[in-house]
Structure 1
Amino acid sequence: MKSLYAFVKKESLELIRSGKLVLLVIISCLFGIMNPFIAKITPWLMEMMSDQLAESGMSITTIKVDAITSWTQFYKNVPLLLIIFVIIMSGILTNEYQKGTLINILTKGLERWKVIIAKAMIMIGLWTICYWLCFVVTYLYNLYFWDNQIVSHMVLGASYVYLFGIWLIALILLGSTLFRTSYGVIGFVGGVFMIVYILSMVPQIQEYLPSQLLNSMSLLLSTTYPSDYLATILITLLTSIMSIGLSLVIFNKKAF
């Protein structure tokens, strides 16, 4: 396991040196600040637009802003954070192909499965830091301005979206073993997501698809319950494990 630890350490240092860690941390903090900020300025924006809306025959009533408004923004902005994460991490293996660095590492005796596991550990660790940092920043601002106690299943709902991020990471790994460019990886992940999203429009199967985890905002409003997501969680975990397993098999047979 020493070689795995050494490779993980090497990947961690590369993450820092490349600036990806700092960039994603800054973006996550900005998203965390932006959620309550947008909620806070919403009444002001609507007031500014009131005259234009009145000319169109629309009237604005008093807008109530609270923690739920901010958490709604959180769930709206998380998909964008996921897109940025996928784009930045899409080259985690393909850059190694292009630079030829993997050949030297593998010829020195590092098992191929350790490369995949190390890459998975790095991405999961980075996603964990970035996502929960964004969550904590939003939580603290909401705590300062409003009352988070009016929200139900706050951490649990956020955990479901976090799990969806793990599912995307598994797809990044699988795409990275299938394609040699980051564009191919992005196209693969985006294509799989679009297929799942389209399938989610079929009511009979939507509760079994990973994309359903992005709708966990309804937990905060108590319009759904944790038990409603059990099938989705199981399918997401199963497909994530299968994707990583396929990555190991394909990478083990890949020629460099």
Structure 2
Amino acid sequence: MRAFLKKEWLEWSRTGRFLVLLLVFTVFGIMNPALAKLTPWLVEIMSESLTDMGLVASEVTVDAMDSWVQFYKNIPMALIIFVLVCSGSFTGEYEKGTFIPVVTKGLSRRKILAAKALLLYGMWTVMYGLCFGITYGYNEYFWDNSIAGHLFAAAACTWLFGVWVIGLLICFSAFAKSSSQVLLGTGGVAMGVYLLGMFPKLASFLPAKLMEGLALLQQVCEVEDYIASAVTSGLLVFLCMCMAVVCFDRKQL
């Protein structure tokens, strides 16, 4: 398993996946406070045009909350890019037939699955932590993060939602034949859960609730309101991994 983990890391490095994700999450991390910081300047530039149109632009003041609003708007896009980049993690191996030599030499399929899952979860944690850390650092430097309530609890909820999505990705990758099937399956389930969240009685139990971290920052909701959805997400991740093990054990390589 250690050898396969090393092989996976080399593949991430040589194919450019690690560099692409590093750049994407770094850019998003910088862009959140940058957009907030530039907003007054942009409004001032546009004020003359707005005046000609009969509109009056009032003075705009920004704080750390504006930057965190950008963070929670941008992180879903970063997660989508992560899924797109990693959707071929298993299917690429199926197409090349690179699983066959290691399996015939005695490497357990479950260790292969565990190695790939460990790297995917680890990469998501590192990239998400990088994006959050950059935004937090700039916000602390320019303003004051104390204006945001339950800051780390909200961040943990969004991270857990990403873990659930990656669980779906691994589950579909265990039996799908192409990356497009993996994307359709993962996106379809995520969209279905989002639509179910429109029903008030179900919303508090679904993983989609975890993406409402901004409500925690604005203290509209309390941490206790997210416990049910966090427990559900954890159980679904466990279920996804169990299904992935069963499917991958029976998968024709």
Deviation at 1:54?
4.8
**Structure 1: 4+ residue segments shifted above 4 A:** 51-58
**Partner residue of 1:96?**
93
Runs of 5+ unmatched residues, structure 1: none
For 2:38 and 2:31, the matched residues in 1 are separated by 10
Q: Which amino acid counterpart does residue 64 of structure 1 have in structure 2?
A: T
**Partner residue of 2:102?**
105
**Partner residue of 1:170?**
167
**Partner residue of 1:48?**
45
2:26 counterpart of 1:29 = yes
Structure-2-length-normalised TM-score: 0.96
Query: Which range moved further: 40-49 or 82-91?
Result: 40-49
Deviation at 1:235?
0.4
**Partner residue of 1:128?**
125
Q: Which amino acid counterpart does residue 134 of structure 2 have in structure 1?
A: V
Deviation by residue 1:192-247 (Cα, 9 ceiling, x = unmatched): 11101111111111111101111011111111111000000000000111011100
2:242 counterpart of 1:218 = no
For 1:207 and 1:54, the matched residues in 2 are separated by 45
Deviation by residue 1:31-50 (Cα, 9 ceiling, x = unmatched): 11000000011122223333
2:84 counterpart of 1:87 = yes
2:151 counterpart of 1:151 = no
Picking from 165, 180, 183, the partner of 1:183 is 180
Q: Which amino acid counterpart does residue 206 of structure 2 have in structure 1?
A: L
Deviation at 1:151?
1.3
Structure-1-length-normalised TM-score: 0.95
Deviation at 1:57?
5.6
SS at match of 1:138: helix
Residue identity (%): 43
RMSD: 1.3
Deviation at 1:102?
0.5
SS at match of 2:204: helix
Picking from 13, 16, 19, the partner of 1:16 is 13
For 2:32 and 2:100, the matched residues in 1 are separated by 44
Q: Which amino acid counterpart does residue 213 of structure 2 have in structure 1?
A: S
Picking from 174, 186, 199, the partner of 1:202 is 199
2:235 counterpart of 1:238 = yes
Deviation at 1:144?
1.1
